[in-house]
């Protein structure tokens, strides 16, 4: 199983994961974090949450709920506006510098564009978010 990211949104209706696989963003996270820091932005990995991954790896043993999945209270949430600052800066830089990443810059641009779209909508709806590590 390969690791990837999903966008997870939280709001009045509970958790709402966007299950679009963001494999390139996960694989290129070191380069993207370095780039974000060079652009005076918070690293993208600062918006990661591994609560769901820990739940899956531990079969939910360390969670105190009776649900089939983990509780929102266990996760770290962020305002989309915060995350969008990093996403927008990375996206603008990658679009202007086509070969900025060692691997697939075009796929990273597609994935960041998707994140931008989802988080912009989430912001307008007053939701919170994080980038969820999944297997």
Each residue's pLDDT tens digit, 14-42: 778 899 999 999 999 999 999 999 999 99
What integer pLDDT is reported at residue 98 of this predicted model?
A: 76
Q: Convert the pLDDT of each residue in 61-109 to its tens digit.
A: 554 444 455 455 678 999 999 999 999 999 999 999 877 777 789 999 9
Structure tokens at 9: 């949104």
pLDDT of residue 2: 85
pTM of the predicted structure, to 2 decimals: 0.86
What's the confidence (pLDDT) of residue 57? 72
For 1-135, where are the E strands, in sequence order? 4-11, 14-18, 48-49, 128-134
Q: Is a pLDDT exceeding 90 seen at residue 124? A: yes
């Amino acid at each position: 199983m390969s690791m990837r990211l999903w966008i997870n949104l939280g709001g009045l209706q509970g958790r709402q994961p966007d299950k679009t696989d963001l494999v390139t963003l996960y694989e290129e996270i070191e380069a993207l974090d370095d780039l974000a820091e060079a652009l005076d932005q918070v690293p993208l990995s600062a918006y990661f949450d591994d609560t769901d991954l820990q739940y899956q790896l531990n079969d939910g043993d360390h969670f105190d709920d009776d649900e089939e999945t983990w509780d929102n209270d266990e996760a770290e949430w962020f305002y989309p506006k915060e995350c969008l600052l990093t996403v927008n800066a990375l996206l603008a830089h990658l679009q202007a510098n086509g070969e900025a990443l060692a691997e697939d810059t075009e796929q990273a641009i597609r994935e960041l564009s998707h994140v931008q779209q989802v988080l912009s909508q989430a912001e307008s709806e007053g939701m919170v978010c994080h980038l969820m590590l999944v297997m």
